[in-house]
């Protein structure tokens, strides 16, 4: 990567509550905040920390499927609804399925690099509890190849794609240990979420999470190799962060100690119409992570925390292997050894990840950046970890579809 580029920072992150089943205040039949409310709350949450909308040069909004979940397109024009000073400024909406957030961050990063902006307000949002899960599954299936895959696909299209990956993994490396690793992943996710008041599983009180995680899958009502605890939930949430240049930091009066620097990234696209060559590997994720680490000039041993895209326990496990932390087939041991837990070598998903915090699909990438920013700048409240010494870097991995769009970003504290 070109090293004489401008420096890019992120700061002033904000996340709303991840609303949906699991939250005490959630009632499927009662009125709830809508898309506009989450955009506003998240956007204003960031603007308040950076001196208001007049300091913003551009707006980016990441979203996957508001056109179906909320019957709303044209989201760029909702950015000015956050604050009237944003009116007449350049805004753009970015879509890459569940990787939309990562693409939004990269869009903002590139604006800063191009020098067309010094402060970019980046918002990610998805509001999915507007329909029953069975119809939401149709909408989310849009992250796959509709023409080639949907008809022969399952009712729960995406859970089934990852169930197939789980099945292939069971066959290759053994079912029992892999399922125990899934259950441990679930437990870690919920235990982390219990520390973070905005997390969807914050109110979870289950005593034996691993036993629950080991519930046998029921293919009659769901998919063959995964149970519902292996899946992230249906979430409504928004997140926002400011992507800024050095000049931008000055403009908003933010010290470097309250910002993270983006030191490397990998943005990789696979062909939507081509099925994965090896279902037990996340090849696109592996490529994106390698690019990100190479561009940052660091190695795995430098990472102090990771936000990975655990839309399912199997994707969490395969991410560990795709990163190279464990060899193919050894991810379960790595997880069962506790290495991904908050006490582990590299704590993963410290506010719960997609399974514990929630998965507002198109907004998740931005939420991951917010969690990283919170951890690196000491703003993580009860879910704060202390980065192991000699490991100052963090990595986020945001994946769209069945490992098709992946954005991996490497961060470190800016001061």
Interface ranges with other proteins (CB under 8 A): 132, 134-135, 137-138, 141, 146, 150-152, 154-155, 219-222
| Shortest separation between residue 186's beta carbon and other proteins, angstroms | 20
Q: Taking the complex as a whole, how short is the minimal distance between the CB of residue 156 and other proteins, in angstroms?
A: 8
Which of residues 11 and 129 has its CB atom nearest to other proteins in the complex? 129
CA distances to 237, 287, 298, 320 from 391, rounded to whole Å, are 31, 22, 10, 17
3-state secondary structure 190-257: HHHHCCCCCCCCCCCCCCCHHHHHCCCCCCCCCCCCCCHHHECCCCEEEEEEEEECHHHHHHHCCCHH
Cβ–Cβ < 8 Å for 406, 400: yes
Q: How far is the CB of 212 from other proteins (least distance, A)?
A: 13
Which C-beta is closer to other proteins: that of 223 or that of 414?
Answer: 223
| Interior/surface letters 150-174, b for 16+ CB within 10 angstroms, e for the rest | eeebbebbbbbbbbbbbbbbbeeee
Q: Which is nearer to other proteins, 141 or 166 (CB)?
A: 141
* Gap between the Cα atoms of 186 and 192, Å rounded: 10
Strand runs labelled E in 17-176: 58-62, 91-94, 119-127
In the bound state with other proteins, the residue whose beta carbon lies nearer, of 222 and 348, is 222
Distance (Å, rounded) from C-alpha 266 to C-alpha 84? 34
Closer residue to other proteins in complex, CB, 77/211: 211
Tell me the closest approach of the beta carbon of residue 215 to other proteins, in angstroms. 13
Q: How far is the CB of 364 from other proteins (least distance, A)?
A: 23
Distance in Å, CB of 224 to other proteins, minimum: 10
The residues, any chain, with a CB within 8 Å of residue 221's CB and separated by 6 or more, are none
Contact 349, 385 (CB under 8 A): no
Residue whose C-alpha is closest to residue 149's, from 275, 285, 326: 275
Nearest CB to other proteins, comparing residues 154 and 187: 154
Least distance (Å) from other proteins to the CB of residue 226?
13
C-beta of 222 vs 265, nearer to other proteins: 222
């Amino acid at each position: 990567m070109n090293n004489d580029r401008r420096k890019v920072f992120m700061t002033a992150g904000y996340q709303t509550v991840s609303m949906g089943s699991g939250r005490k205040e959630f009632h499927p039949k009662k009125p709830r905040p809508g898309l506009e409310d989450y955009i506003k709350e998240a956007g204003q949450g960031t603007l308040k920390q950076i001196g208001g909308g007049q300091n913003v040069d551009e707006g980016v909004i990441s979203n996957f499927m508001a056109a179906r979940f909320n019957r709303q397109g044209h989201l760029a024009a909702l950015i000015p609804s956050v604050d009237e000073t944003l009116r007449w400024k350049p805004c753009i909406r970015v879509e890459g399925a569940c990787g939309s957030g990562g693409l939004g961050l990269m869009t903002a990063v590139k604006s800063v690099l191009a020098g067309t902006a010094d402060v970019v307000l980046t918002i990610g949002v998805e509001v999915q509890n507007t329909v029953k899960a069975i119809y939401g599954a149709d909408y989310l299936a849009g992250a796959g190849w509709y023409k080639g895959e949907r008809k022969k696909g399952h009712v729960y299209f995406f859970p089934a794609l990852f169930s197939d990956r789980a099945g292939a993994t069971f066959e290759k490396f053994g079912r029992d240990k892999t399922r125990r690793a899934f259950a441990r992943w679930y437990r870690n996710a919920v235990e982390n979420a219990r520390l973070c008041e905005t997390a969807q599983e914050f109110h979870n009180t289950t005593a034996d999470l691993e036993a629950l995680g080991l519930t046998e899958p029921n293919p009659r009502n769901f998919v063959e190799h995964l149970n519902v605890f292996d899946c992230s939930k249906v979430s409504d949430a928004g997140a926002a962060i400011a992507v800024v240049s050095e000049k931008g930091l000055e403009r908003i009066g933010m010290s470097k100690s309250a910002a993270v620097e983006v030191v490397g990234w990998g943005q990789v696209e696979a062909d939507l119409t081509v099925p994965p060559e090896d279902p037990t590997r996340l090849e696109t994720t592996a490529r994106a992570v390698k690019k990100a680490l190479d561009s940052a000039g660091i190695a795995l041993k430098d990472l102090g925390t990771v936000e990975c895209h655990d839309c399912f326990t199997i994707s969490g496990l395969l991410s560990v292997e795709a990163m190279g932390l464990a060899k193919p087939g050894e991810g379960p041991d790595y997880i069962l050894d506790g290495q991904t837990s908050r006490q582990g070598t590299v704590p993963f998903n410290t506010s719960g990840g997609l399974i514990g915090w929630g998965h507002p699909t198109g907004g998740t990438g931005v939420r991951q950046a917010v969690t990283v920013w919170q951890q690196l700048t000491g703003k993580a409240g009860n879910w704060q970890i202390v980065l192991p010494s000699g490991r100052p870097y963090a990595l986020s991995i945001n994946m769209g579809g069945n490992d098709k769009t992946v954005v991996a970003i490497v961060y470190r504290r800016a001061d």
